[in-house]
Amino acid sequence: MPQSATRQFKILLAAGLFLFFAGCLLLVPFPGHKSLIAVRCLGLLILAVAGARNRSLTFWIFFAMLAGLELGLDAPAFATQLRFLSDIFLRLIKVIVAPLILGTLITGIAGHGDLRKVGRIGWKSLVYFEAVTTIALFLGVAAINLTKAGEGLVIPASAQTPPDTAPLHWTDFVLHIFPENIVKSVAENQILQVAVFAILFAIALTRVPEQIQKPILNFAESLTQVMFRFTNLVMYFAPIGVGAAMAYTVGHMGIAVLLPLGKLLFTAYGALLTFLLCVLLPIAILARIPLKRFLGAVAEPATIAFATSTSEAALPRAMECMEAFGVPRRIVAFVIPAGYSFNLDGSTLYLALASIFVAQAAGIHMSWPQQLLMVLTLMLTSKGIAGVPRATLLVLLASAASFHLPTEPIFVILGVDALIDMARTSVNVTGNCLASAVIARWENELAVPTPD
């Protein structure tokens, strides 16, 4: 976009947001005043003009959320009839989950060839990935338990899914992890069973001759790419689904639903910032990574990730920048692509945070053992979701189904998901760039001087 067009877009965006939110804030002293409807609609019109100049799916999802909010405020009776549109979107998303998890896990594990050939770099990378993402998951759980952002969101009784009150013994859970019929697991959307099957299948695939392995691996890679494209197609329907979900929610529950969303937004940004300062920064210091040079190297790919909300857009530049930073090409070529399946720090933190938010919104108390169980589940199901913007929605819906949580709060979350997505995607890219530097230092192959 030319610089003048970018400036016009920013002016229109600022003017539209100002008018819309001014019209919302003035509802407190002047509830139901008709002139405020005109002010908000004018703001939406200006935002629509801005969107026509910047054809961004993220923008239109955000716009649809605001339009749905307006519809829910002005015509609640009509807005509550639009739920079928959000249900269509939900069904389209759910059908993607199992094939995408199967394809990404199989290609992520078996796609690098014989596991024995991956060698030292492979196991060091995987140990690092799992350690850091586990910390991210626990940090997300701690943050949402501290702020309790979801407790102010009241879900109507008719929309709630009653929790399973029967006590679940730990042996029952362990047994439930392992599939007895993979087709049945896919049909029932038992995503943990699908993930376990994919992991075992990928390990077995590395143990067969190459001529047998190659066709299956090619099929898994093709399945993954097709499901990514499938998700891209479905995401074109996202503005309609999100707008309808927001309209239904506000029309059914009122504008009070927005306060928990603000708390969720600040909780997510606070947790991501804490992760950067209290986890990634100490790792960089312990690995003796030159911070100033690293920040200079990672700035561009992280900015691309923030602007596009997709890690894949930053992948080529991230690999190029880290190689220029001093990480050997063979380490960059393995660690960063593998990290896109196994080291999604920002996304895993957000998934843990959002899953507990959904439980809080539904009034379902989850004990610490249950939350730990959810974290362990997310450790498996969160792999391989960096390819598509907002793909964390797939895993979040799968987790909600596995733990008998309602889906309505997830659609409410979509109202601020685009804003959170930019930050978590930047953290994903930064974490993967740091991982390549740490592994290179661990191998004594980082071609930069050790900081004093």
**Predicted confidence (pLDDT) at residue 384 exceeds the cutoff of 70:** no
Phi, psi of 443 (to 5 degrees): -90, 0
Asked if 67 and 239 touch (Cβ cutoff 8 Å), the reply is no
Lowest mean pLDDT segment, chosen from 25-34, 46-55, 358-367:
25-34
Q: What is the mean pLDDT of residues 59-78?
A: 85
Asked if 416 and 264 touch (Cβ cutoff 8 Å), the reply is yes
Say how far apart CA 246 and CA 240 lie, in whole Å: 10
Q: Which of 347, 365, 356 is nearest to 409 (CA)?
A: 356
**Predicted confidence (pLDDT) at residue 205 exceeds the cutoff of 80:** yes
268 or 234: which leads in pLDDT: 268
Sole residue written with tokens 């959904």: 358
**Predicted confidence (pLDDT) at residue 212 exceeds the cutoff of 80:** yes
**Predicted confidence (pLDDT) at residue 270 exceeds the cutoff of 80:** yes
pLDDT of residue 439: 92
| Average pLDDT value for the chain | 79
pLDDT band at 165 (very low <50, low <70, confident <90, very high): very low
Taking only the tens place, the pLDDT of each residue in 312-347 is 667 777 888 898 899 887 788 778 877 876 788 888
Q: What is the mean pLDDT of residues 418-431?
A: 85
pLDDT of residue 1: 55
pLDDT of residue 438: 94
Q: Is residue 139 exposed (0-12), middle (13-18) or buried (19+ Cβ within 10 Å)?
A: buried
What is the percent of the chain with per-residue pLDDT over 70, rounded to a whole number? 80
191 or 129: which leads in pLDDT: 129
Say how far apart CA 452 and CA 450 lie, in whole Å: 6
Sole residue written with tokens 């199967």: 102
pLDDT of residue 340: 75
Q: What is the mean pLDDT of residues 59-79?
A: 85
- pTM exceeds 0.85, yes or no: no
pLDDT band at 422 (very low <50, low <70, confident <90, very high): confident
Q: What is the mean pLDDT of residues 87-94?
A: 79
Taking only the tens place, the pLDDT of each residue in 93-122 is 778 777 877 887 787 677 655 555 556 777
131 or 312: which leads in pLDDT: 131
Question: What angle, rounded to 10 degrees, do the helices at 311-325 and 408-442 form?
Answer: 20
389 or 333: which leads in pLDDT: 333
Say how many C-beta atoms besides its own lie within 10 A of residue 169's C-beta: 9
Say how far apart CA 19 and CA 26 lie, in whole Å: 11
Sole residue written with tokens 């927005």: 258
DSSP states along 322-382? HHHHT--HHHHHHHHHHHHHH--HHHHHHHHHHHHHHHHHTT----HHHHHHHHHHHHHHT
Say how many C-beta atoms besides its own lie within 10 A of residue 50's C-beta: 21
pLDDT of residue 295: 92
**Predicted confidence (pLDDT) at residue 432 exceeds the cutoff of 80:** yes
**Predicted confidence (pLDDT) at residue 140 exceeds the cutoff of 70:** yes
Q: Which of 306, 321, 270, 271 is nearest to 433 (CA)?
A: 321
CA 12 remoteness from chain centre: 29
Question: Which residues have a Cβ under 8 Å from the Cβ of 117 and sit 6 or more positions away?
Answer: none
pLDDT of residue 162: 40
Q: What is the mean pLDDT of residues 390-398?
A: 67
**Predicted confidence (pLDDT) at residue 287 exceeds the cutoff of 50:** yes
